[in-house]
């Protein structure tokens, strides 16, 4: 159940299965391997196995960071529109 803190590429793995439901909504665990689907995403959980990865993105540059930034930006625009309507 370890949480991945960053995006990365798998460079060594042993029967690695990841829960990506936080990002994709898919409830099935995803098998990761060097030759098939080596991308690991922040905000996902390791459910089985072990591995090593090279970090490719952290914070707001990671996939989960981009999603949260986009969600936050949408909320700011809606708030500004409400203020404009009240003021006018």
- Domains in the chain, start-ordered, CATH in brackets? 2-83 (2.70.150.10)
pLDDT score of 20: 94
pTM of the full predicted structure? 0.76
Q: Nearest CA to 44 among 60, 25, 70, 66?
A: 25
* Residue pointed to by tokens 């970090």: 55
Q: Which residues contact 6 (CB under 8 A, 6 or more apart)?
A: 42, 55, 56, 57, 58, 62
pLDDT score of 1: 77
Q: What is the pLDDT along the chain (88 residues), one digit of tens a residue?
A: 799 999 999 999 999 999 999 888 889 999 999 999 999 999 999 999 999 999 999 999 999 999 889 988 765 555 666 666 666 5
């Amino acid at each position: 159940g370890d949480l991945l803190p960053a995006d990365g590429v798998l460079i060594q793995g042993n029967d690695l299965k990841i829960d990506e439901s936080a990002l994709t909504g898919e409830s099935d665990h995803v098998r990761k391997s060097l030759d098939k689907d080596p991308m690991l995403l922040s905000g996902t959980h390791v459910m089985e196995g072990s591995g090593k990865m090279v970090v490719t993105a952290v914070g707001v540059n990671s996939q989960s960071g981009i999603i949260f930034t986009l969600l936050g930006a949408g909320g700011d625009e809606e708030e500004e529109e409400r203020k404009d309507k009240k003021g006018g």
